[in-house]
Amino acid sequence: MNWINLMFSDANGIPDDARIAAFLLVLAYIINSSMGVYLSEEHLFDPEKFGIGAGALSAGVGVWFGARKGN
C-alpha cells in the first residue's frame, strides 16, 4: 500500500493536494460516464456540459501544477 502514498506525494514525501484533486477529477469522470450509460433512461449524462466543467478543472489543476514548478 506504500505505492498509493508515493502516488499522491511529492519528492519530499509530503501529500500533494493537487495530485489528489486531479485523481478525483478523472475518477468522477469515469463514474459519471459509466452511470450515465447504465442509467440512460432515467438520468441522461450530458458529456458536453461535464466536459466543459472537467476542462475548466483540468486547466485549474494544470495552472496549480505550473505555479508550483518543482514543489
Which tens digit of pLDDT belongs to each residue from 8-67?
887 788 888 888 888 888 888 888 878 877 877 766 777 788 789 888 878 887 887 788
Q: What is the pLDDT of residue 68?
A: 73
This prediction has a pTM of 0.63
Q: What is the pLDDT of residue 37?
A: 77
Q: Count the alpha carbons within 13 Å of 8 in the hemisphere toward its beta carbon.
A: 11
- Residue 46 is placed in which grid cell? 450530458
Q: What is the pLDDT of residue 42?
A: 67
Distance of CA 43 to the CA centre of its chain: 22
Backbone angles phi, psi at 62, to 5 degrees: -65, -40
